[in-house]
Copies of this chain bind each other. A is one copy, B any other.
Amino acid sequence: MISRPIGIFDSGVGGLTVLRQLAARMPEERMIYLGDTARLPYGTKSRETVVRYSLHNAAFLQEQEVKLLVVACNTASSLALGELQKKLRIPVVGVILSGAEKAAASSRSRKVGVIGTVATVRSGAYEAAIRECAPDVQVVSVACPLFVALAEEGWLQDEVTQRIAQRYLKPLQDQGVDVLVLGCTHYPLLKPVLSEVMGKGVLLVDSAEEVAAQVERTLQALGLRNAPPAVTRSLPPRIYLTDCSPHFLELCERILAFPPEEVEYVDLG
């Protein structure tokens, strides 16, 4: 059991930021990543569809005998975590709780902003998780559908991106939030612009960074951690994508600094 890999899935390649954090923290663990690039994005789709796709992804990773499943996608974590935890016999960790805990603990104004996809914001998952941690915190959520497209276009530090960010983030600034949760795996790519627009007094919480600690605690608690190796160099992860268009392979490379030859194709229907 112990040497079995950690499974990670995301709607696309954005969740590779989560894999990077996990590998940095636990270089002795093997990782298998599945990006459902053929059916992405999840963020505009219904709960039913996101649950169905999440179960497909989990089934594929279970066949690879993973010992723990990380749902790196915020939308899938928001809409499908309960269903996955009910159906699978391994621990399932989403990204919402870690981000919510960090946000609740960090806010001094007790006003937290959350940005995410339409589906994540509509689900109210971050609000519920933050209120569970700290009932006194007020949460203001805004869907930012253009951010994924801007990040994928590579317009990361760009005047157009800045103007769009100013427009999306205005209600959060008006409410005086001092913590902003980046509730989508693509958004950390826009950190410089988001940080500039929100100003220095606002902490940006990246759920990808936070979740690695939660995964480590969970493995530890269950006695599932691998023994530290003699040399602490990360094992190369296995990466599967449901669509291997040049577009996604380029994005993989950009996020991981990684040769796309090591990406395998898998057909989930």
Give chain A's interface residues, CB within 8 Å of chain B: 37-39, 44-46, 48-49, 52, 118-119, 122, 145-146, 148-150, 152-153, 159-160, 163-164, 167, 242-248, 267, 269
Contact = CB atoms under 8 A, between A and B. Distances in A.
Contacts of A44: 152, 245, 247-248
Contact of A145 (B122, B145, B152, B243): B152
Q: Nearest 6 A-B pairs (CB), nearest first?
A: A46-B245, A149-B149, A269-B269, A49-B243, A38-B49, A45-B243
Contacts of A153: 145-146
A48 B267 CA distance: 11
A184 B259 CA distance: 32
Contacts of A149: 145-146, 148-149
A150 B146 contact: yes
A246 B46 CA distance: 8
Given A38-B45, A145-B152, A150-B146, A119 B160 contact: no
Contacts of A267: 52
A269 B267 CA distance: 11
Nearest to A41: B41
Contacts of A145: 149, 152-153
When all copies of this chain in the complex are counted, the total is 2
13 contacts: A37-B45, A39-B39, A45-B243, A45-B245, A46-B243, A46-B246, A49-B242, A145-B149, A145-B152, A146-B149, A160-B163, A160-B164, A163-B163
Contact of A49 (B119, B148, B245): B245
A243 to B, nearest CB: 5
Contacts of A245: 44-46, 49, 119
Given A45-B243, A46-B245, A49-B245, 7 more contacts: A38-B49, A44-B152, A45-B245, A45-B247, A46-B244, A118-B247, A146-B150
Nearest to A43: B247
A118 B243 CA distance: 14
Contacts of A146: 146, 149-150, 153
A45 B37 CA distance: 8
Contacts of A37: 45
Contacts of A248: 44
Contacts of A160: 160, 163-164, 167
A247 to B, nearest CB: 5
